[in-house]
């Protein structure tokens, strides 16, 4: 199963989402591969540098070009899970990844400019491929969060989870995965599994 973490915008939470989901995907005796398509290699560095044992079982493949991406995707066994962390603003590479996706995760933040960006990514997702939003670093108690959720609901845009803003999540490789971060991403993971079964 190939899961693509897709956003055209920088700094929305793609890498954080990819790493947490890879950690959840690799528990229960399953292994997962985190395919880092961002030349910055932040996901690869995170896995390499972190001492969190939940990240031990994750295979990492650095694949910042079309050729390397296809190669890395070919290596994911049919029963395995590959999670692709995309770079920002590289639409051509994103389209290549989306062609191979079983599930698409769209990280986003709350804010007026975000909704059109989310829609732009949704338009790139091939027909029939399930896609859901993850609202990252959210201040769930704010009016703007409530309004954004209401708007997504009205427009029928699926939100698969909200990850609250937490300093412990910002720690990245310098600290363990945050317990409440894992709790929130677990809900997203369940949505992914449900979408994959349908
Ligand atoms: N739930 C959260 N709470 C607090 N900080 C968060 C949360 N999620 C992400 N962040 C922080 O937001 C910043 C951007 O996150 P991340 O690197 O995951 O985004 P990205 O989309 O991969 O960025 P880029 O486009 O540069 O690859 C990071 O500093 C990260 O620690
Ligand atoms: Mg990133």
CATH number 3.40.50.300 is the correct assignment for the domain at 2-197:
yes
Q: Ligand 1 pocket: which of 9, 11, 164, 168 to mutate (most atoms <8 Å of CB)?
A: 11
Neighbours of 193 (CB within 10 A): 13
Residue numbers in the chain where pLDDT is lower than 50: none
Ligand 2 centroid distance, CA of 87 (Å): 6
Ligand 1 touching residue 96 (CB < 6 A):
no
Which residue matches tokens 């890879």? 22
pLDDT at 117: 92
Query: Atom 11 of ligand 1 has which residue's CA nearest to it?
Result: 170
Ligand 1 centroid distance, CA of 65 (Å): 22
pLDDT at 148: 95
Element holding 135 (H helix, E strand): strand 131-138
Query: Atom 25 of ligand 1 has which residue's CA nearest to it?
Result: 10
Q: Ligand 1 pocket: which of 4, 15, 50, 167 to mutate (most atoms <8 Å of CB)?
A: 15
User: Whole-prediction pTM value?
Assistant: 0.97
pLDDT at 28: 63
Ligand 2 centroid distance, CA of 198 (Å): 29
List C-alpha distances in Å: 145 to 107, 163, 182, 186. Answer: 15, 12, 21, 21
DSSP per residue over 6-73, as a string? --SSTTSSHHHHHHHHHHHHT-TT--EEEEE--TT-HHHHHHHH---GGGTTEEEEE--SHHHHHHHH
Ligand nearest to the CA of 183: 1
Residue 71 CA to residue 50 CA, distance in Å, equals: 26
Query: Atom 1 of ligand 1 has which residue's CA nearest to it?
Result: 137
Query: CA torsion angle for 98, 15, 7, 161 (degrees, to 10)?
Result: 100
pLDDT at 138: 97
Residue 180 CA to residue 177 CA, distance in Å, equals: 9
Burial of 63 (0-12, 13-18, 19+ CB in 10 A): buried
| pLDDT digits 0-9 by tens, 117-135 | 999 999 999 999 999 999 9
Ligand 1 centroid distance, CA of 77 (Å): 29
């Amino acid at each position: 199963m190939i899961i693509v973490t897709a956003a055209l915008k920088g700094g929305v939470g793609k890498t954080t989402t990819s790493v947490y989901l890879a950690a959840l995907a690799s528990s229960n005796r399953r292994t997962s591969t985190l395919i880092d398509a961002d030349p910055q290699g932040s996901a690869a560095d995170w896995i390499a540098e972190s001492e969190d044992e939940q990240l031990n079982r994750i295979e990492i493949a650095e694949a910042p070009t079309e050729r390397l991406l296809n190669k890395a995707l070919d290596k994911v066994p049919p029963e395995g899970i590959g999670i692709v962390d995309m770079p920002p603003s590289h639409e051509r590479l994103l389209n290549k990844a989306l062609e191979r996706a079983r599930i698409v995760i769209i990280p986003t933040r709350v804010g007026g400019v975000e909704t059109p960006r989310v829609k732009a990514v949704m338009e790139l997702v091939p027909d029939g491929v399930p896609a859901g939003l993850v609202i990252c670093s959210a201040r769930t108690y704010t009016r703007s969060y409530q309004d954004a959720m209401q708007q997504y609901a009205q427009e029928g845009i699926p939100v698969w989870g909200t990850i609250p803003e937490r300093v412990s999540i910002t720690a990245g490789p310098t600290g363990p995965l945050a317990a409440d971060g894992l709790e929130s991403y677990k809900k997203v993971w369940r949505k992914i599994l449900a979408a994959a079964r349908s």
